[in-house]
Amino acid sequence: MEQKISFEDFVFIRDYIHKISGIYLDYEKEYLIRQRIEPILKDVKVNSFAEFSNIIKDGRSMRFKESIISAITTNETSFFRDDHPFKTFYKYIIPKLIDKIRRNKENKAKAPTKIRIWSAACSTGQEAYSISMLIDEYLYNNGIFNITKNDFYILATDIDNPVLKTAMSGCYDKMAISRGISDDRLKKYFVGSENKWEIKNELKEMVDFQKCSLHEGISNARFGGTFDVILARNVLIYFDTKTKDEILSRIHQLMLEDSFLILGATENLYGLSNKFESVTFENSLLFKKKEISYKPVIKKF
Ligand SMILES: C[S@@+](CC[C@H](N)C(=O)[O-])C[C@H]1O[C@@H](n2cnc3c(N)ncnc32)[C@H](O)[C@@H]1O
């Protein structure tokens, strides 16, 4: 039977979820807490939401933390989701990245650096693997042999352990494959048959999956450098304005001057950070760091 949840307990549990995940649920999403958290309470033999609130109040919630995060996150994703950002990546961004690698390689005074791409909130990995396929295809289609997949580093992170496990395994069922993978790409980039397909090692090796909570753990030091491209698609929608702003500020610090931020197809930054400016490539809206001009402060005496 579905458990009732008092308003007081709802607020308490909502604030706990916000603290551990950054995800903010208003009262309209009360049903989500009931539907997704109740099975966990049953599993661990906690009889009511009131009892669960008390466990949180007493600081005994650590054992639930990961399962609550897993239950409350929405992991919807697919290969080449929404298509046009990936077309833009192939047509406009990869050529710029290739130029940059060439310039880097020509500059003998500097040790060559890899192009760094970050799929923040990667879920089960399809976004990162789609990017790796496009890089491989671009190099092959353009007969580029002096630049290789090794010139690229793709970091892919998420807060949710089970989705990261799938992402790292690179294994997908028929349904996941049917959402975005053409027959040609299936033959070229996967091994397997029927209902179990695994990404080939050559693509797996391009992606470094790590656990990371966007609302707390992102910094230059944490990731060992800044990025040329950051994909933060379909994740900011789950956060409140303050959390979104804080995350965007940190993303801004992690972007190189000439880098791109890619959000979800229906997302934009209206009413949020003013540190970015939009750039349109055909159907895609991307974001760059705004050039900040520092005006001298003139003091009047
Ligand atoms: C809807 S999926 C988007 C996946 C992919 N970016 C796409 O657009 O297809 C949102 C992902 O954000 C992750 N997520 C939610 N809150 C997060 C947080 N605070 N830090 C990192 N990842 C988070 C979820 O676990 C989930 O896998």
Q: What is the pTM of this model?
A: 0.94
Same domain? 54 vs 97: no
The closest alpha carbon to 288, from 262, 249, 265, belongs to: 262
68 with 200, same domain? no
pLDDT at 243 over 70: yes
More confident position, 109 or 191:
191
Q: Which of 4, 121, 21 is nearest to 61 (CA)?
A: 21
Which segment of 92-96, 114-118, 160-164, 213-217 scores lowest on mean pLDDT?
Answer: 213-217
Mean pLDDT for all residues in the chain: 93
Shared domain check, 237 and 128: yes
- What range defines the domain where residue 62 resides? 7-72
131 lies in the same domain as 241 = yes
pLDDT digits (tens, 9 = 90+) for 246-265: 999 999 999 999 999 999 99
Total number of domains constituting the chain? 2
Paired with 288 in beta bridges are 277
Q: Which ligand 1 atom is the nearest neighbour of the CA of 21?
A: 19
Residues 108 and 67 in one domain: no
The reply to whether 222 and 260 lie within a common domain is: yes
Judge if 66 and 186 occupy the same domain.
Answer: no
> Same domain, yes or no, for 173 and 245?
yes
The reply to whether ligand 1 has any atom less than 6 angstroms from the CB of 124 is no
166 close to ligand 1 (CB < 6 Angstrom): no
Which three-class secondary structure string do you get for the chain?
Answer: CCCCCCHHHHHHHHHHHHHHHCECCCHHHHHHHHHHHHHHHHHCCCCCHHHHHHHHHCCCCHHHHHHHHHHHCCCCCCCCCCCHHHHHHHHHHHHHHHHHHHHHHHCCCCCCCCEEEEEECCCCCHHHHHHHHHHHHHHHHCCCCCCCHHHEEEEEEECCHHHHHHHHHCEECHHHHHCCCCHHHHHHHEEEECCEEEECHHHHCCEEEEECCCCCCCCHHHHCCCEEEEEECCCHHHECHHHHHHHHHHHHHCEEEEEEEEECCCCCCCCCCCCEEEEEECCEEEEEECCCCCCCCCCCC
pLDDT over threshold 80, residue 146: yes
- Please tell me if the CB atom of residue 163 comes closer than 6 angstroms to any atom of ligand 1: yes
Distance of CA 132 to the CA centre of its chain: 15
Q: Determine which of 104-118, 123-137, 152-166, 187-201 has the lowest per-residue pLDDT on average.
A: 104-118
Please check whether residues 91 and 67 belong to one and the same domain. Answer: no
- The answer to whether residues 272 and 181 belong to one domain is yes
Is pLDDT above 70 for 292?
no
130 vs 44 pLDDT, higher one: 130
Residues 125 and 244 in one domain: yes
Average pLDDT over residues 179-207: 97
pLDDT at 120: 97
**56, part of any domain:** yes
Q: Is 104 in the pocket of ligand 1 (CB under 6 A)?
A: no
pLDDT in tens, 209-231: 999 999 987 888 889 899 999 99
State residue 126's pLDDT score. Answer: 98
Hey, which residues does 230 pair with through a beta bridge?
118, 261
Instruction: Give the neighbor-by-neighbor strand order of the sheet with 190-193.
Output: 171-172, 196-199, 190-193
Is pLDDT at 293 greater than 60 in this prediction?
no
Q: Ligand 1 pocket test: pick from 79, 158, 246 the residue with the most ligand atoms within 8 Å of its Cβ.
A: 158
pLDDT band for 63, please (50, 70, 90 cuts).
Answer: confident
Q: Are residues 273 and 127 in the same domain?
A: yes
- Residue of 16, 68, 159 to test ligand 1 pocket, by largest number of atoms within 8 Å of CB: 159
Does the pLDDT at position 21 exceed 70? yes
